[in-house]
Chains A and B, each alone.
Chain A
Amino acid sequence: MDNVAVKPIGVVGLFDSPDALLGAARRFREAGARRWDCHTPYPVHGLDDAMGLKPTRLAWVTIPAAFLGLLAAVALTGGLSVIQYPIRIGGKPLFSWQAFVPIFFELFVLFACVSTMIAIIVFCRLGRWHSPLHDSDVMKHITCDRFAVAVQTGGEGEMSDADVRRILEQCGCSEIRPLVECEE
């Protein structure tokens, strides 16, 4: 770690209460911050609105996947019992769908859940094991009891360091640190 160069890329402010964070999030939204995010130990209600985030579209993945599962179950049971391996059992029709209902239901749920799991990983951008918050040594506060706003600065049309610090101070921020990124 000694040889690692540290590059400042923005500012991170730590708050002690969710209410103060909500106030700051509203301010940054109004100020037109671009690359920024709030980090909290648990979901804070009202933060989506304060940050101006759109509602999640996760259900748009889950629901079609569930019906795809249903379709897959119909194809699986029907295809195998009617075309691939047709055997009359108990004089019942080959496609005796009533008996297949448990399989329809289970695959409906299975597809819905697997797609939801994949969707969380993709939507929440999980699987990236490193973030500037670790380099800035604030993550251990975030996963415990403090609430953070991380704002990247210096890009084109972005806020300046001084602007961010000013807003943080006005919103009752308890600690302000530079947001840094380690370079190899």
Chain B
Amino acid sequence: MTRGDSILAPAPLIDGRLSPRQLDDDIYRPLESFPTFRWWIAISITGSLAGLFAFCLYFTVSRGIGMWGNNQPVGWAFDITNFVFWIGIGHAGTLISAILYVLRQTWRTSISRFSEAMTLFAVFIALQFPLFHTGRPWQAVFWLIPFPNDMSVYQNFRSPLEWDVFAVGTYGLVSLMFWYTGLLPDLATARDRARSSLARFLYGLASLGWSGSARAWRHYEKAYILFAGLATALVISVHSVVSFDFAVAVLHGWHSTIFPPYFVAGAIFSGFAMVASLVLILRKMFRLQHIVTLSHVELMNKIIIATSLMVAYAYAMEVFMSWYSGFGPEWFQTVTRATGPYAWAYWTTIACNIVAPQFLWLRRVRRSPWLTYPIVIAVNVGMWLERFVIIVVGLHRDSLPSSWGMFFPTWVDIGLLAGSFGVFLTLVLLFCRFLPTVASTELKAVTAER
């Protein structure tokens, strides 16, 4: 959009005019050419980090979860912080693919496929943390899912942790199906473009024999809108349920009705920051700058600033309600957050999540990848710390001063956190190499409609 345009003018889809064939050539190029040197460098770094993740999980299982730093009184720490963080990252993908679809925001097409894939990887990583916190992940199926057993012992469905199992499990499966449905026609394109017979066979298998038939399209379009509608409700429910892990607990600083909307806004905020921080690199790496344009970056930045303000409102309301309640222990929690031993984390959160995004009010910053990048990284850091503050500060000083304590992460904790990024980025790089990162079919449809 240039300066003179109406703010109501539809956002541009791509830069310039590309024929469908040129679009395909650009989008499928990474699949059809040998990976670049940069790709190999990137995947060797992320792959090593993923190895660290596997090693730390092995260590956790073989030596026990005592390898982690959490202990009384801080019984939950990095594990659930990472869990909430990664689930939140996933939410941007669903927002882009489902909510923006329902709202007919066609600009989402350039980034939707990639963000959906990001959702899947993030949910997969998030699940590892609670699973390994059980200590015996191979037995966890009996503990988490109502599974007929000899003892006739079943789950407590009143527990938010059990709600989590259903919410996150459903979310993971639905995201997978939604993503795969969207991918079907693109897989068919990849099949028909493939030069090697192995690629043709594999893409052909994955595309389920899609032939673009008009009879199929009419079912397909209906299914897509149904998926989008269901996923819209689902995404809001999932992070609400995740926030219930805390909100339903009887603990000062956690027991709060503001948590569900606050968590959902925070999830979208952090998710968009993650989409932006990856897309900014990948559009350059795979030469897609004309498809994922600066206007897309700007629009993402606008959503980041909007959600940043929602999060700021939630932070302010949390403080206000704790004061307004007139309840001593509640107010004590608030004061401890801002002045206690973890005050550094609280103020870093404020700086990263509320102060840093304010620079995005400037159009020059919004449209500059170099200036946007530090901001979105700050938001990622800030959102991770926000969960850390909620969880650890809430636990480390309860009502009885004799049971106060501190949490210090071990190297395994830090290894798992760093390693989770390695797994995530490795999956992202593999995705970009083997599957189309842009929804080419949908992009052709929306550009033709224009």
Chain A: residues with CB nearer than 8 A to chain B? 18, 25, 37-44, 47-48, 51, 53, 55-56, 58-59, 62, 76-77, 80-81, 84-85, 87, 89-90, 92, 96, 99-100, 102-103, 105-107, 109-110, 112-114, 116-117, 119-121, 123-131, 133, 139-140, 142-145
Contacts and interface: CB of A to CB of B under 8 A. Distances in A.
Contacts of B158: 89-90, 92, 96, 99-100
Contact of A121 (B208, B217, B230): B208
A124 B204 contact: no
B3 interface: no
A36 to B, nearest CB: 10
Contact of A144 (B156, B167, B192, B216): B192
15 contacts: A41-B189, A42-B448, A43-B221, A43-B445, A53-B215, A81-B154, A100-B158, A107-B170, A109-B234, A113-B177, A113-B227, A113-B230, A114-B173, A119-B223, A143-B212
A112 B225 CA distance: 13
A58 B167 contact: no
Q: Is the interface of B mostly helix, strand, loop or mixed?
A: helix
Interface of B: 19-21, 24, 146, 152-158, 162-163, 166-167, 169-170, 173-174, 177-178, 180-181, 184-185, 188-189, 191-193, 204-205, 208-223, 226-227, 230-231, 233-234, 237, 241, 244, 441-442, 444-445, 448
A81 B366 CA distance: 53
B418 to A, nearest CB: 32
Nearest to A76: B146
A144 B219 contact: no
Contacts of B152: 84-85
* Interface hub of B21, B215, B227 (most chain A Cβ within 10 A): B215
B152 to A, nearest CB: 6
Contacts of A120: 181, 219-220, 223
A58 B233 CA distance: 19
Nearest to A92: B158
A80 B442 CA distance: 45
Nearest to A127: B208
Given A42-B445, A124-B216, A106 B209 contact: no
Contacts of A87: 156
A113 B219 contact: no
* Interface hub of B166, B174, B184, B208 (most chain A Cβ within 10 A): B166
A39 B212 contact: yes
A35 to B, nearest CB: 12
A143 to B, nearest CB: 4
A125 B216 contact: yes
B214 A129 contact: no
Nearest to B210: A126
Given A87-B156, A103-B163, A145-B20, A43 B146 contact: no
Given A117-B177, A127-B209, A143-B212, 16 more contacts: A38-B213, A40-B214, A41-B189, A42-B444, A43-B445, A102-B166, A103-B157, A105-B237, A106-B167, A106-B241, A114-B177, A120-B220, A128-B209, A140-B192, A143-B189, A144-B24
